[in-house]
Chains A and B, each alone.
Chain A
């Protein structure tokens, strides 16, 4: 009993619980339809690569997981969201492919410039976007949603201009590698894992995490205690831009083309949702990076589940909405308070007995 209590008190309990809940839907469905009950969780090696629905969740969820890192920091430090990340993904992919293919060319099988130049430019432009957002928020004191609204609309448009409104294909195996397979593991999973590892090591081993939280909790007090609040907020937006750039390149390499109209479309909403599902407050302050990452994969688990259940595409958004509402309600304060009261009553009754 004590162990269970300890478990439920853990910070990550609810996010993990929510994810398992989503996956349980599959188990119930599989039992009901007479399939092996744990078909969703089975992983095998097929055609020389890892194969299974869980791998799909990890693979397809990579972009949102990478975005969630940056979004968590932005939310924590500035008590606002960066809604430009989806657009910035598209811009970064567009610039990268435009450089690799040459302006106005729509289909190449050879690089026009070395691969690293294109990749570097894509990530650099994303960082510049982050710098721009951060400057507006930290130094101009513009509300985050308004400040990032600018690039939300302009980022994708610039990407379209760079690609001359076309889909630019770069059909080179070394470019496709970043969206395909590295040995038996999908490369996007590895990229996401590296990003998460680097972020958590930096946050754990330096005081940056503490700085960000203290700025988020009270900007003025932090400044008086000697932190450069504006600089820390700026840094968070740059990291968010960097994450968007990496995610954009992963999405681009997956389809070896810059589909600027569609890359990262509505993904800012998924990233924000991931942060919320991870049990983080969108009001800033304390954050829980692991929660956000789990939130990101929970969103992908919902999508993959809907595919697995064969829910028709017209109804899918409604199902997704119901699941999300359930998860958010489970994690809401009134429900938590209710369960706390319930267990207190039980304890009281025990004592009385």
Chain B
């Protein structure tokens, strides 16, 4: 009897955790298209923070080239508290900041890789405030828990830019925010599909990302906006593949058995698309430019774009990691004393397989792939 009660309890706990899983992405990032979705990273024990990384090499570089050829002869010091280095996407994002805020451009960048540790990130920002830097950029690991440190920055009179992801804090506490618009990404995919199908019927299957993640919500909403404008489009089913390849494969296997008449598959990140392609290969369904099924994917990672170049993923909508230019524009405006918008949109591009031309997307070629920063 007692043992049964114990087993019941454990089962109940398991169930509770199953249910809880559904929300794990709720405080997740505004934009993380990375192969390793940040929702999961947060749940995981992050590798111990690398303390040695604290003073960025950019600082010493700036010292070496002391007279920086800035426009007004003054070096602008910028602190950047980066999330970590969990993916190619993130690495490209970091490199872009380091290149843009270089000594040659008149900046002194203090770059700190916070290794997915929220506490380290808060301390990093405190450090920036103590160093009395001119500007602080934060790519928040978590959306919650920022009020105190943002207030400290405000009291110190340092403008704060929230980049890439969003924070749950009063907008008056920071100067401005910038990032990708997930709804716009979903709409871009829909608009391209409307153009590509040119009035043909669409029976669509959607493999969503993690339940509750902002990328999932935004991309679903944006795509559905376009679906509702097309009377002959039908979303047959929409299931979560958790942003993983295994998830995409399992969901696609099931879709294939439930529906025989689909011609469009929308995967909300590249990893899910890889899994969906494996499942279709096994079932003998042809896809891509020459096949029966059109695949749309998001993220446009290097591997994903390789598939686009090969004509397998017909359209791949990017989530742009090259955001530093947008941040630099905002800082230049602030420097000139101009007003800035509360929100700056980082413009995303879409890529389509060779042989297709589109008003909404760039046609893929080897040069485009080689020219990508990541």
| Distance between Cα atoms of A113 and B173 in the complex (Å) | 54
Contact residues of B: prevailing secondary structure: helix
Q: Report the minimum CB–CB distance from B42 to chain A (whole Å).
A: 10
Q: Report the minimum CB–CB distance from A80 to chain B (whole Å).
A: 11
Most buried by B among A81, A251, A270, A333: A333
Q: Report the minimum CB–CB distance from B303 to chain A (whole Å).
A: 7
In the bound complex, do residue A313 and residue B44 qualify as a contact, i.e. CB atoms below 8 Å apart?
no
Give the interface size bracket for A toward B.
35 or more
In the bound complex, do residue A317 and residue B6 qualify as a contact, i.e. CB atoms below 8 Å apart?
no
Q: Is B21 interfacial (CB-CB < 8 Å)?
A: yes
In the bound complex, do residue B282 and residue A157 qualify as a contact, i.e. CB atoms below 8 Å apart?
no
B34-46: CB near A (< 8 Å → 1, else 0) gives: 0111001101111
| Distance between Cα atoms of A229 and B217 in the complex (Å) | 53
Chain B residue nearest in CB terms to A304: B254
In the bound complex, do residue B257 and residue A281 qualify as a contact, i.e. CB atoms below 8 Å apart?
no
In the bound complex, do residue A255 and residue B40 qualify as a contact, i.e. CB atoms below 8 Å apart?
no
Q: Is B3 interfacial (CB-CB < 8 Å)?
A: yes
Q: Is B348 interfacial (CB-CB < 8 Å)?
A: no
Interface positions, chain B 242-267, Cβ under 8 Å from A, are 242, 244-247, 249-251, 253-255, 257-258
| Distance between Cα atoms of A328 and B14 in the complex (Å) | 12
A245-263: CB near B (< 8 Å → 1, else 0) gives: 0000001001101010111
Collect the chain B residues with CB atoms within 8 Å of residue A276's CB: 7, 10-11
Q: Report the minimum CB–CB distance from B347 to chain A (whole Å).
A: 27
Q: Is A206 interfacial (CB-CB < 8 Å)?
A: no
Most buried by A among B11, B15, B41: B11
Chain B positions within 8 Å of A, measured between CB atoms, are: 1-4, 6-8, 10-12, 14-19, 21-22, 35-37, 40-41, 43-47, 84-88, 208, 211-212, 237-240, 242, 244-247, 249-251, 253-255, 257-258, 271, 274-275, 278, 282-284, 303
Extra inter-chain contacts (15) besides given A262-B36, A317-B19, A318-B19, CB under 8 Å? A48-B284, A56-B254, A166-B36, A255-B245, A255-B246, A266-B21, A276-B7, A281-B6, A312-B239, A317-B22, A321-B15, A321-B16, A325-B12, A328-B7, A332-B8
Q: List 14 A-B contacts (CB under 8 A).
A: A46-B283, A81-B10, A165-B47, A165-B85, A255-B245, A255-B275, A269-B14, A269-B17, A273-B14, A276-B7, A283-B6, A313-B208, A316-B22, A321-B18
